[in-house]
């Protein structure tokens, strides 16, 4: 194999290039990304970056790394088309780049709900460094922020805005916070934590339109029941959609993401997909798409290993995730969705630990500010509940004797 092209210069694309070199790939690596500049991490955009404004601290690697590793980085360049027959990627400037293997790391973009006046000045979304820079500038003059969406990004932003003394209302259509990703018990805990930060939260409430003032600037949100929530900054944080268009137009199967097999290959053996855009066979036996640093990084490492080593194992990393909301670090090991049983373990100090089970085995563990328990939990996913009951659900004790999990 002579030439590997990676489309997308985010967390997963960057890791794929790095891991290929670590695995000994000596051929050409070309990264094509439509964002300007060096690859950077997104998680701090809704956390530390908002306070510090330090964009250099976001970089995944310094500029010298790409030169030293002979990785060609075409930033600010959009891939427009994949020609699978010729094994070439065409970029928007008309250039064609041949590949022996292609890695699709195109990530996701924010979902824009069909609300009137969504393009009014003062309406923001948060996905890129450019988004974060613009929000940061506005926040200094904001009195009341209205957040549409009570998921991770909306709540991280809400906590950060409260710390900056901005008053905040969060509007969430579901009856609980972070409903797609955490247990009802954890949703409830975070509702109280956000109340204690002084955030107003409207659950089971639909946004209907962005209100505008006489100059056409955003002035808040009109709710479906006719009430109005006034505010001078509106953040739309209603989830993401995977960037599948390139793959779909090239005839690859896409269903809530680019569908890949257990080794992260698409239906074309010369094309892999990873991270936010990849729908892969998950731990519960059905295809899942995870929006996390862990998935992007572990997928990338797996693809690099598979390309460089004969007969690799199928992809089998335990999913994990974190979210910093004010002083509270939520960590999730495993997948909390589809659980059929739950045990809430009160802790002598701090918040409870929540164990979620599926068909008698540990499926996920949710913790707040308890990193040691989270690390133990990652080793214990899929352990039968009887084994954990035998040691009184002391996860740190149980992890000492657990078999190592695949990473
Ligand atoms: C504000 C924020 C906070 C987050 N916090 C956390 C957190 O606390 N914990 C956590 O685990 N995860 C967090 N995430 C999610 C995490 O950042 C993503 O899961 C991760 O970045 C996914 O990596 P990726 O490489 O799949 O996609 P991305 O990092 O999104 O990279 C994809 C890149 O491909 C580019 N691209 C798309 N199409 C094309 C094309 N046709 N041509 C060229 N380039 C293209 C995109 O512009 C983008 O630059 C957060 C995300 C955001 C936005």
Taking only the tens place, the pLDDT of each residue in 328-359 is: 999 999 998 889 999 999 988 889 999 999 99
Distance CA 361, CA 338 (A): 12
Nearest CA to ligand 1 atom 6: 43
Distance CA 90, CA 86 (A): 11
pLDDT of 195 > 50? The answer is: yes
Contact criterion met (CB below 8 Å) for 201 and 238: no
Contact criterion met (CB below 8 Å) for 361 and 342: no
Distance CA 331, CA 294 (A): 12
Question: Using 50, 70 and 90 to split pLDDT, how confident is the model at 403?
Answer: low
Domain 123-238 sits in CATH at 3.50.50.60
Q: What angle do CA 362, 259, 96 make, to 5 degrees?
A: 140
Q: Answer yes or no: same fold for 3-109+241-308 and 327-401.
A: no
Q: Which atom of ligand 1 is nearest to the CA of 14?
A: 25
Map out the domains of the chain as residue ranges. 3-109+241-308, 123-238, 327-401
pLDDT of 407 > 60? The answer is: no
Q: Strands of 237-319 (E only): list them.
A: 240-242, 258-259, 271-273, 278-281, 287-288
pLDDT at 111: 98
Residues 6+ positions from 21 with CB-CB distance below 8 Å: 29, 69, 71
Residues 6+ positions from 390 with CB-CB distance below 8 Å: none
Nearest CA to ligand 1 atom 33: 8
Distance CA 186, CA 331 (A): 11
Q: Which residue among 44, 90, 279, 291 has the greatest number of ligand 1 atoms within 8 angstroms of its CB, and so is best to mutate?
A: 291
What's the mean per-residue pLDDT of the chain? 96
pTM attached to this predicted model: 0.96
Q: Which atom of ligand 1 is nearest to the CA of 240?
A: 53
Whole-number Å distance, alpha carbon 291 to ligand 1 midpoint, is: 8
pLDDT of 406 > 70? The answer is: no
pLDDT of 404 > 70? The answer is: no
Least confident of 21-35, 190-204, 241-255, 280-294: 280-294
Distance CA 96, CA 88 (A): 6
pLDDT at 338: 81
pLDDT (average), residues 30-42: 98
Distance CA 176, CA 325 (A): 16
Q: Which residue among 103, 106, 108 has the greatest number of ligand 1 atoms within 8 angstroms of its CB, and so is best to mutate?
A: 106
Q: How many helices (H) and strands (E) does the chain have?
A: 11, 26
Thinking of the domain 327-401, which architecture would CATH place it in? 2-Layer Sandwich (3.30)
CB atoms within 10 A of CB 227: 11
The third-level CATH classification (topology) of the domain covering 3-109+241-308 is FAD/NAD(P)-binding domain (3.50.50)
């Amino acid at each position: 194999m002579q030439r590997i092209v990676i489309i997308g210069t985010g967390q997963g694309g960057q890791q794929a290039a790095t891991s290929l070199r670590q695995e000994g790939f000596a051929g050409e690596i070309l990264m094509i990304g439509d964002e300007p500049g060096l690859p950077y991490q997104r998680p701090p955009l809704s956390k530390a970056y908002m306070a510090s404004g330090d964009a250099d601290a976001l970089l995944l690697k310094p500029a010298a790394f790409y030169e030293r590793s002979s990785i060609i980085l075409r930033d600010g360049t959009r891939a427009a088309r994949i020609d699978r027959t010729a094994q070439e990627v065409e970029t928007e400037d008309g250039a064609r780049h041949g590949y022996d293997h292609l890695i699709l790391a195109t990530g996701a973009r924010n979902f824009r709900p069909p609300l009137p006046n969504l393009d009014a000045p003062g309406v923001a979304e948060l996905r890129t460094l450019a988004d974060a820079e613009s929000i940061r500038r506005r926040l200094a003059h904001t009195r009341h922020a209205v957040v549409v969406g009570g998921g991770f990004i909306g709540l991280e932003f809400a906590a950060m805005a409260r710390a900056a003394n901005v008053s905040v209302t969060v509007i969430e259509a579901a009856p609980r916070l972070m409903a797609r990703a955490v247990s009802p018990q954890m949703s409830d805990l975070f509702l109280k934590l956000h109340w204690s930060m002084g955030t107003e939260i409207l659950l089971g409430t639909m946004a209907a339109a962005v209100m505008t003032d006489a100059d056409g600037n955003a002035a808040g949100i009109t709710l479906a029941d006719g009430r109005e929530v006034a505010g001078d900054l509106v953040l739309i944080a209603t989830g993401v959609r995977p960037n599948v268009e390139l793959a779909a137009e090239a005839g690859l199967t896409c269903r809530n993401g680019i569908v890949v097999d257990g080794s992260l290959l698409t239906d074309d053996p010369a094309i892999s997909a990873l991270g936010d855009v990849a729908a892969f066979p998950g731990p519960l036996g059905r295809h899942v798409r995870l929006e996390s640093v862990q998935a992007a990084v572990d997928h990338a490492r797996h693809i690099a290993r598979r390309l460089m080593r004969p007969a690799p194992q199928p992809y089998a990393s335990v999913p994990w995730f974190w979210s910093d909301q004010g002083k509270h670090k939520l960590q999730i090991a495993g997948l909390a969705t589809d659980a059929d049983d739950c045990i809430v373990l009160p802790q002598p100090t701090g918040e409870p630990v929540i164990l979620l089970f599926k068909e008698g085995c540990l499926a996920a563990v949710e913790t707040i500010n308890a990193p040691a328990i989270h690390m133990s939990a990652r080793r214990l996913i899929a352990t039968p509940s009887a084994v954990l009951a035998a040691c009184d659900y002391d996860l740190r004790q149980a992890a000492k004797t657990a078999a190592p999990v695949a990473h």
